[in-house]
Amino acid sequence: MIQQVEFTLKGKNRGFHLITDEVLYHLPKLPQVGLLHLFIKHTSAGLTINENADPDVQTDLNTIFDQLIREREPYYIHTCEGADDMPAHAKSTLVGVNLTIPITNGRLNLGTWQGIYLCEFRNRATGRKIVATIIE
């Protein structure tokens, strides 16, 4: 059986945001065994799995990405939507826009220290649309 829901995450400022609980809130009851596939319908944000305990990880990841891909580089051509736009597209390409997580015993089978992150690469964004597909 396959179920699919689409929902919108609350808008967030630029950064790496732990959203595991927000995602779970929008999902139907999970099967005993299966897969959860998440897809973000945007080109300036991404999804990843990382540390869910120490918020310093979120701060450091944001700093690392801002150092890797800087705003206002003179070689950017796509600049019509602001200084954060082209860097956001590049960062999204590096992180990716989807995740697949195993479901075991009716729960997401994440590691002890793992959580789902929204990687928001725009300075300010409205809610981000997520498609969640549950495969039993």
Going from N- to C-terminal start, the domains of the chain cover 2-135
Q: In whole numbers, what is the pLDDT of the chain averaged over residues? A: 97
Other CB atoms within 10 Å distance of the CB of residue 84: 19
Interval 73-99: pLDDT, tens = 999 999 999 999 999 999 999 999 999
Identify how many contiguous H helices and E strands the chain contains and give both numbers: 3, 8
- The model's pTM is 0.96
Residue 48 forms beta bridges with which residues? 117
How far apart CA 82 and CA 57 sit, in angstroms, is 27
- pLDDT per residue as tens digits for the range 116-125: 999 999 998 8
Range 16-23 average pLDDT = 98
- Residue 55: beta bridge partners? none
* pLDDT exceeds 90 at position 60: yes
Alpha carbon distance 110, 102 (integer Å): 8
Res 124: pLDDT: 87
How distant is the alpha carbon of residue 4 from its chain centre?
18
What fold does the segment set 2-135 form as a domain?
Jelly Rolls (2.60.120)
114-124 and 45-51 beta bridge pairing: antiparallel
pLDDT > 70: what percent of the chain? 100
SS3 58: helix
Distance of alpha carbon 136 from alpha carbon 132, whole angstroms: 13
